Structure 1
């Protein structure tokens, strides 16, 4: 799922190459919240959920987008045909939840369990969750930035106020001018797609 977090990254790379033909952008993918390589200075920029970035010293944060929450179902699920899924639509359904969910998503999951009364079980990780959705074992709420847009599942907007702010981090000491330029390029690409579903 790490690649889908910056779904517009290839577009940003192409745009950056036009203005910086002598600079190579080399993406590396790490598990969420693994900042070790970045903190050692081995990476110039890193994607992060804003909540995970709190408390990291000596960084500059570029607000990127606020990810909304979506319901993941099989494409033939009755809820897949809706424009938006409301909490009461989950009554009688089984929801997969995970310990790695960011706090805003955990709040929504908790409300569904306590107020709507959905059945639930814990899923180890996103790949396991998708496998369980494909097997018809349940549905899942997830941040939109995990959607790889491959059409295998239905991702339907979920009716809740919670958002998951996402940022790019750079080194506060300024790092390289090229890294700052690339961060600005990514921001401009996302700004050009205001309706992009994240």
Structure 2
């Protein structure tokens, strides 16, 4: 019979690579670890890993068990965390995943009143996922996913929060700052600064540059919005961000939003959640607050 400990061991072997390191991380002796897994191998008649020098390499059977571990272990952890919260007198924890880098400041506008209204609920915000946001939802790593690119499937419900326009942002003295809108070829001599996201997932490439066969002189990445905008305002490059964010920062920085294409590039921010999980009062309250603040952002 496959037990939780077997899943933990296989996951740690895959992570650490050696029996010694895996045993130490799990606070087990090497003999106890080996003995437990050997019984499972004998039960099913398969080897779970092979030795490759000092390191261990998972077999096909081991990879199958690892796949199960990556799906099941987060659910154990989620339930245990929830039980611990209840034992501590809290209703729970709301874990929010983000696939929208520039939306962090906007999210804080929702989190602040939420924490005030629900003092027994904690909030955790996560931006790094092992398999991406949708997989993190299915794997119970997060409870809500903030994304501008929803993938509609039956098990996930998406709530539209607000519409926004993705724009080019340039320094006030940049030659493009006076244009009503820009074409992909207008950016050929510029350095484009973006968040560290796969280019195929960036709207500036996927929906503007690539379809037209456009390119930029150089593409560089910066993790934080504040530094990115400082670089743009200093004339070190251009970027593409939501208009509402650019207009907020244009009050303190010499930056200008410019429309991408004559018709502009329209986007919508969504919050996704597992369809079966929208029962807690604090859960639905967060969604309502998000829509309310989203409406004020859209009309600003």
| TM score, norm. by length of structure 2 | 0.49
Task: Say if 1:83 and 1:156, in contact at 8 Å, map to a contact too.
Answer: no
User: What stretches of structure 1 move > 6 A for 4+ residues in a row?
Assistant: none
Instruction: Tell me the equivalent position of 1:192.
Output: 296
Per-residue CA deviations over 1:142-190 (Å, capped at 9, x if unaligned) read 4447758385562413153331222100110034522222111111111
Distance in 1 (alpha carbons) for counterparts of 2:124 and 2:187: 45
In the TM superposition, 1:8-19 aligns within 5 A as 8-19=106-117
Aligned counterpart for 1:49 among listed residues 148, 151, 157: 148
Instruction: Tell me the equivalent position of 2:221.
Output: 125
In the TM superposition, 1:49-198 aligns within 5 A as 49-50=148-149, 53-80=150-177, 82=178, 84-87=180-183, 90=186, 93-94=189-190, 96=192, 99-102=199-202, 106-110=206-210, 120-121=216-217, 123-127=219-223, 130=228, 133=232, 136=235, 138-144=237-243, 149=249, 151-152=252-253, 154-160=255-261, 161=263, 162-177=265-280, 178-196=282-300
RMSD (Å), alpha carbons: 4.0
Distance in 1 (alpha carbons) for counterparts of 2:218 and 2:296: 37
Q: From the CA coordinates, give the structure whose radius of gyration is larger.
A: 2
Higher relative contact order (CA 8 A, sep 6+): 1
| TM score, norm. by length of structure 1 | 0.69
Distance in 2 (alpha carbons) for counterparts of 1:107 and 1:187: 26
